[in-house]
Amino acid sequence: MAFVLSEEQTMLRDMAKQFFSEQVPVTNLRKLRDDESDDGFDRDVWKQIVELGFAGILIPEDLGGTGFGPMGIGIVMQEAGRTLAASPLYSTAILGAGMIMAAGSESQKKDLLPQVAAGELLLALAIDEANHHNPLNIAMTATKDGGDFVLNGEKRFVIDGHTADKLIVAARTSGTSGDAQGISTFLVDADTAGVSITRTLMVDTRNAANIAFDNVKIPAVALLGGLDAAYPELENVLDMGRVCLSAEMLGGIETVFDTTLTYLKERKQFDAIIGTFQALQHRAAEMFCEVEICQSVVLDALSALEERRNDIPRAASLAKARLSEASRLITNEGVQMHGGIGMTDAVDVGLFLKRARVQAQMLGDANFHRSRYADLGGY
Amino acid sequence: MSDLETFRAETRAWLDKNCPDSIRTPMPEREMPWGGRNAKYPNPDTKIWMDNMASRGWTAPTWPAEYGGGGLSKEENKVLQEELARIKARPALTSFGLWMLGPALLEFASEEQKKKYIGEIVRGEIRWCQGYSEPGAGSDLAGLQTKAEDKGDHYLVNGQKVWTSYADQCDWIFCLVRTDNSVKHDGISFLLIDMDDPGVEARPIKLISGSSPFCETFLTDVKVPKENLVGELNKGWTIAKRLLEHERSMISGMGMGAGAASMGGMEAVAKENFGTDGERIADPSIRSAIADHKMDQQAFGLTMKRASEQAKAGQGMGAAASMFKYYGTEVNKRRFELLLDVMGTQALGWEGEGFDSKELAVTRSWLRSKGNSIEGGTSEVQLNVIAKRVLGLPTA
Ligand SMILES: Cc1cc2nc3c(=O)[nH]c(=O)nc-3n(C[C@H](O)[C@H](O)[C@H](O)COP(=O)(O)OP(=O)(O)OC[C@H]3O[C@@H](n4cnc5c(N)ncnc54)[C@H](O)[C@@H]3O)c2cc1C
């Protein structure tokens, strides 16, 4: 049954919950921020994540992974989201590994995936070129030059772009921006000549980068997937990313909701616990419904991936749109219901608010996915 | 073949023989199979279908066979529902007895009561209405004042009920009555009353939608035999609440069901009225509102499905009934408001020339939908229940 976790999945969830709450609590993110960490994540934590098998969770066992599949990684991301755990899981284990699995040749898979599972290779997927996600709007070019390709263009908001060892870059080998046909993807070492990476400090203190490609020469073997024809695989991987992000966002709103509810039961004003005020009770009840609905759309989208259903795009857009809206509502209410203290850096709710807005923009906000949902419905 | 496959094959063959053709078409409101002593059947097949299904207890497929139900397991019932959906069969019987009273009787009534009333409900012989609300007791239902006095061999009932849906067409009424004035919740009893008894009078009330499906019900010196008390004296509130849960889950189904048919065409109507831009509805805000609504509806449907799967796995979702009642009815109301935006003036006709029957039905259904978040406990009351019982927020 899609909506009920199996015993194995429940064990995974309990293990992930314990790990993130004990080893990577929110204080971990605060420390990275306050120490102005160059990496933006904790290498020791990453090592532990790798040891738990999470880095190779999508990768089959014969290539060094644990093969737990999409439901598995979704469960892990939800738990990571509860504590705002910063790690390369999303960029490397989901998008990066996902893209290599979907489009890679046998030798690329054999070469790279075991390194990913072992935590030795960090990846980042470079797609967007404007301030809103749109994977069709790719203007960056890759032109043939003898046996090589030459890349020219700029990428924005590349998650974990400045810590990645290898970039997976979507570029145009034919057609014009807006066409699905003509998009190809390439594996580019981050230290290749002509690649300049600028880390961008985002409001959520997580990692992103702008990357410029100036006559970057790469060999033909760096092509990942078919020439001109990478878009279908790219879109599948983006959908997986969207669903996993939604799972991470779900973890975040669950924490904010629980924390806010606890506060409603503690704080006193007018000689009364503020949770006795009906204005707040009703808003809390509405949030409860919203969280329940979010759990349903995330679980459904994860099972769509798990079962390779043919409505994955629709389920993914439903989840990402819903979670983007719900996380806005719940983080705003979280701050409001805490009153003045909600505005302080000392309590965590503000950190969740900031993270939620970045997550909402990643791989398409509610507007993008609402429109995509309508397109998929033929209207 | 597995047992279930055999069951499916047999069911399919049986339905093939026993479900009349006219029953496999969309059901006009006037052909709703309410049953009861005064039932009229503008389409005689409605009655044939009801009797055929009742003969197997399949009007109430999962109720115990010993009382007249179908005695099917959950799995068998799922198969039956799938087979019914496959041939687009109309419901064989729609009734408050099936949705609300029956489940409560099965849980709380005496053996003799179950033997008598359950069978009548299954066969559609008696049409029940619900006598809960009173002029002074709506959301605060336990404030009800209709009193039942112990007169030795019977109770003498006096009082007034209101908003009693279909009372003027019903045969019996299940009533909450006050049997002790000194306490609130613990002074309420659950009584079954034959509306043919002297002293029972139902007067229809006209609604904003123009129809009069509900009534004021006056009870004046009605003599009710003692054996019509369900459960113990003064313990009616427990039964009342349980019955409300059944009612709420029935109403919340509206978020998916009833109006959903008209929704199917909403995009097409919007394309016609606003033009297209490629495949897209040309008006971006209407397009976006429709997508939003469809997502809401899908998400709600998934949540209902999740609740039922989790219930089967023994993981209750907790006060789910209140959440679904609240959310489902609000979604349903939004659907009709959106339909008004999409259809413009064609959704605002009252009667006569210039509107087709489907358009006129939308107007009336839109108005009727306003009651969804009032009947069976208002949206505000559902939010109170969630806040207190699920979230554990304190009372002032
Ligand atoms: C279409 C329809 C069919 C019905 N059918 C039946 C039937 O068959 N049998 C039957 O017995 N009854 C029936 N009812 C009655 C229904 O159950 C009541 O109308 C309902 O419980 C509300 O009670 P009320 O009308 O007295 O409103 P009130 O209780 O007076 O409510 C007025 C407003 O105050 C709000 N309010 C009240 N208390 C609170 C609170 N504590 N916190 C916040 N807000 C509050 C309500 O939400 C509402 O907005 C039906 C109603 C409708 C609309």
CATH, residue B93 = 1.10.540.10
Tell whether B252 is covered by a domain. Answer: no
- Kindly determine whether residue A284 and residue B393, on different chains, have CB atoms separated by under 8 Å: yes
**Residue A11, burial from CB neighbour count under 10 angstroms (0-12, 13-18, 19+):** exposed
Alpha carbon B381 to its chain centroid, in Å, reads: 18
- Cβ–ligand 1 contact at B365 (below 6 Å): no
Residue B317 pLDDT level (bands cut at 50, 70, 90): low
Tell whether A159 is covered by a domain. Answer: yes
Written as six digits, the tokens of A212 are: 């410029």
pLDDT at B261 over 70: no
pLDDT at residue B259 in the model = 45
How far does the centroid of ligand 1 lie from the alpha carbon of residue B376, in Å?
A: 7
Domain interval for residue A218: 124-229
Helix/strand/coil for A32: helix
pLDDT (mean) for B270-277: 96
The overall average pLDDT reported for chain B is 93
Helix/strand/coil for B378: coil
Sign of CA dihedral B154, B159, B165, B166: positive
Residue B212 pLDDT level (bands cut at 50, 70, 90): confident
Percent of chain B with pLDDT over 70: 96
**H/E element holding B203?**
strand B200-205
pLDDT at B136 over 60: yes
Tell whether B178 is covered by a domain. Answer: yes
User: What is the Cα–Cα distance from B21 to A83, expressed in whole angstroms?
Assistant: 59
Catalytic residue among B120, B134, B247, B267: B247
Q: Is B18 left (phi over 0), alpha (psi -120 to 50) or beta?
A: alpha
Tell whether B240 is covered by a domain. Answer: no
- Cβ–ligand 1 contact at B378 (below 6 Å): yes
CA distance B291 to chain A (A): 5
- Kindly determine whether residue A278 and residue B384, on different chains, have CB atoms separated by under 8 Å: yes
pLDDT (mean) for B291-312: 92
Find the closest chain A residue to B285 by CA distance: A371
Q: Which of A95, A121, A147 is the last residue of a domain?
A: A121
pLDDT at B106 over 50: yes
How far does the centroid of ligand 1 lie from the alpha carbon of residue B377, in Å?
A: 6
| DSSP strand pairing (B214-225 vs A223-224) | unpaired
Residues B342 and B386 in one domain: yes
Residue B29 pLDDT level (bands cut at 50, 70, 90): confident
Residue A26 pLDDT level (bands cut at 50, 70, 90): very high
The overall average pLDDT reported for chain A is 97
Output the CA angle A353-A98-A113, nearest 5 degrees: 120
Q: Which of B72, B92, B122 is the last residue of a domain?
A: B122
- Which candidate, A256, A251, A284, places its Cα nearest to that of A349? A256
- Cβ–ligand 1 contact at B213 (below 6 Å): no
Tell whether B24 is covered by a domain. Answer: yes
Residues A156 and A243 in one domain: no
Residues B24 and B96 in one domain: yes
- Count of alpha carbons within 13 angstroms of residue B62, beta-carbon side: 12
- Count of alpha carbons within 13 angstroms of residue B39, beta-carbon side: 22
Tell whether B301 is covered by a domain. Answer: yes
Instruction: Kindly compute the dihedral angle of the four CA atoms of residues A321, A326, A328, A330, in this order, to the nearest 10 degrees.
Output: -170
Q: Is B267 on the interface with A (CB under 8 A)?
A: yes
Residues A53 and A159 in one domain: no
Per-residue buried b or exposed e for A22-35, using 16+ beta carbons within 10 Å of the residue's own CB: ebbebebbeebbee
- Which candidate, A150, A109, A153, A148, places its Cα nearest to that of A130? A153
Q: Which of A182, A203, A229 is the last residue of a domain?
A: A229
A127 phi, psi to nearest 5 deg? -125, -60
Tell whether B53 is covered by a domain. Answer: yes
List helix spans (H) across chain B. Answer: 3-18, 44-55, 74-86, 96, 102-108, 111-113, 119-122, 236-252, 260-264, 266-274, 284-312, 320-343, 357-369, 379-385
- Spell out the long-range contacts of B311-320 with Cβ–Cβ below 8 A and sequence spacing 24 or more: B312/A1, B312/B74, B313/A1, B313/A4, B315/A4, B317/A292, B318/B389, B318/B390, B319/B385, B319/B386, B319/B389, B319/B390, B320/B249
Residue type, A79: E
- Determine the number of helices (DSSP H) and then strands (DSSP E) in chain B: 14, 10
Residues A204 and A310 in one domain: no
pLDDT (mean) for B166-189: 97
A370 phi, psi to nearest 5 deg? -65, -45
A295 contacts B318 by C-beta, under 8 angstroms: no
- Which candidate, B48, B54, B40, places its Cα nearest to that of B22? B48
pLDDT at B258 over 70: no
CA distance B266 to chain A (A): 10
Tell whether B164 is covered by a domain. Answer: yes
Residues B206 and B329 in one domain: no
Tell whether A2 is covered by a domain. Answer: no
Q: Which of B122, B154, B183 is the last residue of a domain?
A: B122
Domain interval for residue B117: 3-122
Residue A127 pLDDT level (bands cut at 50, 70, 90): very high
CB-nearest to A282 from B281, B295, B387 is B387
pLDDT (mean) for B167-194: 97
pLDDT digits (tens, 9 = 90+) for A308-355: 999 999 999 999 999 999 999 999 999 999 999 999 999 999 999 999
For residue A273, the chain B residues in CB contact (below 8 A) are 394
CA distance B324 to chain A (A): 9
- Kindly determine whether residue B387 and residue A284, on different chains, have CB atoms separated by under 8 Å: yes
User: What is the Cα–Cα distance from A300 to A276, expressed in whole angstroms?
Assistant: 35
Residues A114 and A133 in one domain: no
Residues B101 and B77 in one domain: yes
Tell whether A1 is covered by a domain. Answer: no
Residues B193 and B317 in one domain: no
pLDDT digits (tens, 9 = 90+) for A352-362: 999 999 999 99
pLDDT at residue B314 in the model = 80
Q: Which of A121, A146, A164 is the last residue of a domain?
A: A121
Residue B260 pLDDT level (bands cut at 50, 70, 90): very low
Q: Which residues contact A274 (CB under 8 A, 6 or more apart)?
A: A264, A267, A268, A280, A337
- Kindly determine whether residue A379 and residue B309, on different chains, have CB atoms separated by under 8 Å: no
pLDDT at residue B312 in the model = 80
- Kindly determine whether residue A374 and residue B280, on different chains, have CB atoms separated by under 8 Å: yes
> A366-376 and A312-338 helices cross at what angle (nearest 10)?
150
Q: Is B271 on the interface with A (CB under 8 A)?
A: yes
Tally of structural domains, chain A? 3
pLDDT at residue B263 in the model = 42
List helix spans (H) across B102-186. Answer: 102-108, 111-113, 119-122
Output the CA angle A284-A290-A292, nearest 5 degrees: 105
Residues B161 and B108 in one domain: no
Residue B30 pLDDT level (bands cut at 50, 70, 90): confident
Residues A165 and A72 in one domain: no
Tell whether A215 is covered by a domain. Answer: yes
- Cβ–ligand 1 contact at B133 (below 6 Å): yes
- Kindly determine whether residue A276 and residue B394, on different chains, have CB atoms separated by under 8 Å: yes
Residues A275 and A294 in one domain: yes
Q: Which of B99, B122, B145 is the last residue of a domain?
A: B122
Tell whether A167 is covered by a domain. Answer: yes
- Cβ–ligand 1 contact at B381 (below 6 Å): yes
How far does the centroid of ligand 1 lie from the alpha carbon of residue B37, in Å?
A: 29
Per-residue buried b or exposed e for A127-164, using 16+ beta carbons within 10 Å of the residue's own CB: bbbeeebebeebebebeeeeeebbbbbebbbbbbbbbb
- Kindly determine whether residue A378 and residue B302, on different chains, have CB atoms separated by under 8 Å: no
B180 phi, psi to nearest 5 deg? -150, 125
Total Cβ atoms within 10 A of residue A344: 10
Q: Which of B193, B245, B374, B382 to mutate to test the pocket of ligand 1 (most atoms within 8 A of CB)?
A: B374
β partners of residue B157: B148, B222
Q: How many residues does chain A have?
A: 379
- Cβ–ligand 1 contact at B375 (below 6 Å): yes
For residue B287, the chain A residues in CB contact (below 8 A) are 371, 374, 379
User: What is the Cα–Cα distance from B365 to B336, expressed in whole angstroms?
Assistant: 8
The DSSP call for residue B286 is: H
- Cβ–ligand 1 contact at B128 (below 6 Å): no
How far does the centroid of ligand 1 lie from the alpha carbon of residue B140, in Å?
A: 8
User: What is the Cα–Cα distance from A14 to B270, expressed in whole angstroms?
Assistant: 48
pLDDT (mean) for A11-31: 97
pLDDT at B37 over 70: yes
For residue B394, the chain A residues in CB contact (below 8 A) are 265, 273, 275-276
A-to-B residue pairs, Cβ atoms closer than 8 angstroms? 119
Q: Which residue has the tokens 């998916």?
A: B256
pLDDT (mean) for B293-313: 91
Tally of structural domains, chain B? 3
pLDDT digits (tens, 9 = 90+) for A155-206: 999 999 999 999 999 999 999 999 999 999 999 999 999 999 999 999 999 9
Residues A367 and A238 in one domain: yes
Tell whether B383 is covered by a domain. Answer: yes
CB-nearest to A296 from B280, B287, B303 is B303
